[in-house]
Amino acid sequence: MAAPIVPRPRFFHQLVAPVSKFIPKATRRLKSDWHYRKFFTREHVLSQVYFQVSDEASLRGLAQALNEDSRVKEAVESEGVDLSSLSRANSHRTYQIFEFLFERLFPISLACCGQDLGSLATLGPLRILDGTFMQCVASMVWASYQEKKNGVKGHLLLSAGDDLPERLVLTEGKGSERAVHH
């Protein structure tokens, strides 16, 4: 797999400027930093945007970049974060932060792009890919995941509006959605 693209900090700051403007309001309104002593909402959101634009392959890779690459640290305004904190934030910080940001940014995008954007319908069919880890019994040696744990990851591809998934792809337990998105 090719190394992820690392956007230059200045470019990244320009890219996230519209998002950055709304993060403080979202944080206050949703109390998304409540009970956090580190890895606050701003750093979390910026790291997730970085994750998408860098084509980073895994959460582990993102955590490594946030700890070891000075350009990534500067872009995301991070002093580094361990994998468990990153994983915990992804699991426990409310998804409403991203919903709040989308609701503020979409009208701005619409105003900027005018007829070119129109509505979400003009973007073509919306497809959703979700991966879920499933633990397997010890006798399923083909599903090796960790030394004492077997498991697979089921990746469901859904079309927005449909009740049933289009496709299910099973990968090793550490499989990434990025590997099965096509």
| pLDDT tens by residue, 146-158 | 877 888 888 888 8
Question: pLDDT-derived band of residue 164, with 50, 70 and 90 as boundaries?
Answer: confident
- For the beta carbon of residue 22, count every other beta carbon within 10 angstroms: 19
Question: pLDDT-derived band of residue 174, with 50, 70 and 90 as boundaries?
Answer: confident
Instruction: Please indicate, yes or no, whether the overall pTM of this predicted structure exceeds 0.95.
Output: no
Instruction: Return the sign of the alpha-carbon dihedral for residues 148, 152, 153, 154.
Output: negative
**Angle, CA 83 vertex, CA 78 and CA 89 arms, to 5°:** 75
| pLDDT tens by residue, 113-137 | 665 555 555 566 677 888 888 888 8
Give first-to-last CA distance, the chain, whole Å: 16
**Beta bridge mates, 149:** 146
Report d(CA 42, CA 27) in Å as an integer. 8
- Kindly tell me if the per-residue pLDDT of 175 is higher than 90: no
Query: Which structure tokens are listed for 159?
Result: 């079309």
Query: Which structure tokens are listed for 128?
Result: 């959703």
